Amino acid sequence: MANPRNGTSASVRPTRWRVGIDIGGTFTDLLLTDDENPGGAWFGKVLTTPDDPARGVAAALTEALERAGAATRDLATVIHGTTLVTNALIERKGDRTALVTTRGFRDAVEIAREHRYDMYDLHLDLPRPLAPRHLRFEVDERLRADGTIYAPLDLASVDAVADALHGAGFGGETGAVAVCLLHAYRNPAHERAVADRIRERLSGVRLSLSHEVAGEIREYERATTTLANVYVQRLMEGYLGRIEATLTEAGSPARLLLMLSGGGTATVDTARRFPIRLVESGPAAGALAAAAHGAATGRPNLLSFDMGGTTAKACLVTGGIPPVTTEFEVDRVYRFKAGSGLPVRVPSIDLIEIGAGGGSIARVDRFGLVKVGPDSAGADPGPACYGLGGTMPTVTDADLVLGYLDASHFLGGAMALDLDAARRAIATHVGTPTGLDVTGGAWAIHQVVNEAMAAAARMHAVERGKDAAAVPLFAFGGAGPVHAAGVARLLGSREIVVPYGAGVGSTIGFLAAPVSFDFVRSYYARLDATSWATVATLLAEMEAEGRDLLTASGIDPATVAFDHRAELRLVGQAHQVTVDLPPDAVEALHALAARPSDGAVAATVAHDAIARAFASTYRTLYRRDAPPVAVEAVNWRVVARGPVPAFALPRPTGTHSDAPRLAVAKGHRPAWWPEVGHHVPTAVYDRAALAPDMAPIAGPAIVEERESTTVVPPGATVEVEASGALVIRLPGRRASLAQRTPV
C-alpha cells in the first residue's frame, strides 16, 4: 500500500475532514473543515512550542477535533505552512554548508552584484554568504552561455574537492553541499557528474544542484538560492518527520501537504527536496485566504492585512489573484532596503512583511522616540501580560492597557492575562524614559505600530502603481482586527472586512490552494529574433515535467492545468517584468510544437501577442507607454497545478429572522479613544451572537471572539454581511493629528 503522506493513494482513506495548520512565531493556528458540511468549521489556536512545534500542532488538532466530535483517524488531508525555513536562514541555524563552483567563481557569492544598496553609508553591512570562504571550492570545467562545452570537466579536480570536504568533516549525516557551475541552467551534465562523484566519495552527504533548484540565469542569485536550499534541508527533513510521526501516533492516515511560497501546495517528498520553496509559506496562505474571501463576496480587489504575534503582512490582491514575484530576499540587514539581504529565486506571493505583531517589543531609542519591533517576545517568554517570564512591553500589553483586550477573555478565557504586569512593563520601559503616563505610553506603542504597518502597506501599493485607500482592507490574524481601524484611517480606507474566524484567517488559504509547482527555463533572445520553435519545446518540456510531478502526487493527469509566463525587458535594461502569456500565444506555441511546418504563422501570432502583453503590463506598472525599444526575453515559466479543492468559506451557525434586530451587548468595559482623550465605557459584543439580520452597530464598540478581537472606533459602524464577515465603515476622512497623538 502506498504512503498517503507523500500524496499517493492508499487502499482506504476517509475523505471527509481536512485541516489547515499555520505555525507562527507566537501562535499555532488551525482550521478543521467537514466536506459533508460546507461552511462548517472548527478553529484551534494555541501557543507555539518553539522547542518542538509538533507539540503545538498536536494540541491544536486535539482541541479542534474534540469540539467537532471527530477523530484523527477521520482526517483525509492535512495542509501545513511554516516559518521554519525563514527563521533558520535569519537565525543562521541551518547545516554547515559548502559550495562547489567553476574555477574562478569561488567568490561570486561574496562579490554579489557589486552594488551598494546605500551609496552614502560608509560602513555598509553586507549579507553574509551561507558558505564561508574556506568552504567554497572550485572544479575545472567551463560551459559557454549556450550550454556547449568550452572546457570538459576534470574529474581529478572533483576528487580533490571531495578529499577537502572529507577533511573538513563532511560526509554521512554531517554537512551539506551546494553545486553551482557556470551556465548549468543550459546544460546540467557537469553538475550531475560532480554530484555523482561526490556521492561516491562522501556517502550520505546532502547535495543540491543549481539547475534543479533555480535553473535560470544570474550566477549570484542561482548560487544563493541553491545554498539556502541545502542549508535548511536537514532541518526540514527532521521537522517533517516529527509532523508525520505526530499524525501517525495519533492514528491518522491523512495525506500531508505543504504550502509553497508561490501559493500552491506540494507533497512531503517535494518539500524535502526543495525546502527553499517554503520560505514564505505561511504569509502566502494569508494572501490566498484574502483572495478566496474576496472572490466569494464580490471583492476581487482588496488589501490583505495579516497581523499575527510576530509579524504583519500586507498584500494587494487585484482581480481576485495575489501577485507572484520571483524577486525575494531573506535576512535583510535593513528591512526596507533591497539588496541588503540574500536573494532567493523562487516564486513567492508578492507581499510586504514587517516585524510588527502582537508580541513585538517596544522600547525608547536614544532620541527619546518610541520604537516597536522588529524583535518579538514570541511565545516564550511572550508579552509581559502572558505571565510566562516576559518583562518587556509589547503591542499586546499596550492593547490590554488601552482596554481593547479583555484580560479574562483572551483565547476565550483559556489564557488569563496579567494587566498589572503589562502596566509595569510599559511604565518602566516606555513611560519613565518619555515622561508619559501608562495610558500615554500604551497609546504611543499602539499608534507607532499602526504607523509602521500603514507605511509598509502604502509603499507596497505605490510600488505597484496602486492606491491602498481605494480598496477594502481585509483584516485577519490574532492582532489584525484590533489594529485594522487605526491602519485604515492612516491609509484613508473607508471599508474594513473582518472574516469569520479572523484569528486563524490564514488557514483558509491552505484549504483553498491547489497542488502545484513552478518550472523555469532561461532562453535569452530579442523577441524579433527568437527561435519560437525553441520556446515551444521549452514550454512543452516544462508541461511534461509538471504533469509527471503532479501525477506522482496523486493528481489525475487529465485535471492538470498550466499557467504560462515570460520574463521580458527592454533591450539595455538590467531587470525584467513578468508577463502572463496570452491564450492565443500559448495556443500558437502548442501548435508549433505539434506541427513544426506551421512555424512562420505560429511565430508571427506568438510574437505579436506577447509584444502586446508586454506593452500592456508595462503601462499598468509604470503608468506610461514603453519607449520604442526592442523587447527581449530572459526566462520562460510554466506553473503546473491541479484542480482547486472544493471549499466553502467558514460560516457561523445561528438562527436568522426576516425583521432587523438590534444587537445586544454582553457588557461594557473602559477603553481609551483618542477622540475623547480618556477611557470611556464601551459596549462589548459576542461575535457568535451577531447575525446578518441585525442593524448596524455604531462605534465605539468591541466585538470579541475566541481567536481575535475587533475594535470599532467612534464614528464608525459595523455590521455582519451574509458571508458572516464583519464590515466596518469609517468616515470618509483621514485621521487628524489629534487622533494620531496621545492627549
- Residue 656 exposure: Cα atoms within 13 Å on the Cβ side: 12
- Span 651-693, pLDDT tens digits: 776 545 555 678 888 999 999 998 888 899 999 999 888 888 8
Residue range 439-444: mean pLDDT, rounded: 93
- Residue 287 exposure: Cα atoms within 13 Å on the Cβ side: 29
Residue range 347-370: mean pLDDT, rounded: 87
Round the CA-based radius of gyration of the chain to a whole number and report it: 27
Over 60: is that where the pLDDT of 1 sits? Answer: no
Helices 155-167 and 189-201, packing angle to 10 deg: 40
Among the listed residues 318, 315, 299, 292, the one whose alpha carbon sits nearest the alpha carbon of residue 644: 292
Which range among 229-243, 410-424, 585-599 shows the weakest confidence by mean pLDDT? 585-599
- Span 97-154, pLDDT tens digits: 999 999 999 999 988 887 777 777 777 777 889 999 999 999 999 999 989 999 999 9
Contact 224, 339 (CB under 8 A): no
Residue with cell 511572550: 382
Among the listed residues 43, 33, 24, the one whose alpha carbon sits nearest the alpha carbon of residue 414: 43
What is the β-pairing status of strands 302-307 and 312-317?
A: antiparallel
CA dist 686 → 58, 74, 246, 278, 710 (Å): 28, 31, 35, 37, 10
The 3 state secondary structure assigned to 5-54 is: HHCCCCCCCCCCEEEEEEECCCEEEEEEEECCCCCCEEEEEEECCCCCHH
Q: What is the pLDDT of residue 111?
A: 86
- Span 27-86, pLDDT tens digits: 888 888 887 777 678 888 888 887 788 888 888 888 888 888 888 888 888 898 887 788
Q: What is the pLDDT of residue 10?
A: 38
Residue with cell 552584484: 113
Give, for 442, the enclosing helix (H) or strand (E).
Answer: helix 438-462
Q: What is the pLDDT of residue 41?
A: 82
Q: What is the pLDDT of residue 554?
A: 82
Residue range 571-595: mean pLDDT, rounded: 89
- Span 151-205, pLDDT tens digits: 999 999 999 999 999 999 998 888 999 999 999 999 999 999 999 999 999 988 9
Could you give the 3-state DSSP secondary structure of residue 109?
Answer: helix
- Span 517-551, pLDDT tens digits: 889 999 989 999 999 999 999 999 999 999 999 99
Residue range 222-240: mean pLDDT, rounded: 93
Could you give the 3-state DSSP secondary structure of residue 569?
Answer: strand
What is the β-pairing status of strands 97-102 and 136-139?
A: parallel
Q: Where does the pLDDT of residue 352 fall: very low under 50, low under 70, confident under 90, or very high at 90 and above?
A: confident
Among the listed residues 283, 670, 294, 320, the one whose alpha carbon sits nearest the alpha carbon of residue 480: 283
CA dist 159 → 132, 138, 195, 198 (Å): 21, 11, 11, 8
Among the listed residues 220, 206, 219, the one whose alpha carbon sits nearest the alpha carbon of residue 94: 206
- Span 682-729, pLDDT tens digits: 999 998 888 888 889 998 999 998 889 999 999 999 999 988 899 999
Question: How does the average pLDDT of the chain come out, rounded?
Answer: 86
Q: Which residues contact 142 (CB under 8 A, 6 or more apart)?
A: 102, 103, 149, 150, 151, 182
Whether the bond between 374 and the residue before it is cis, its omega within 30 degrees of 0, is yes
Distance CA 660, CA 382 (A): 43
Cell of 32: 478543521
CA dist 700 → 224, 396, 450 (Å): 50, 20, 18
Over 50: is that where the pLDDT of 496 sits? Answer: yes
What is the β-pairing status of strands 561-570 and 577-580?
A: antiparallel
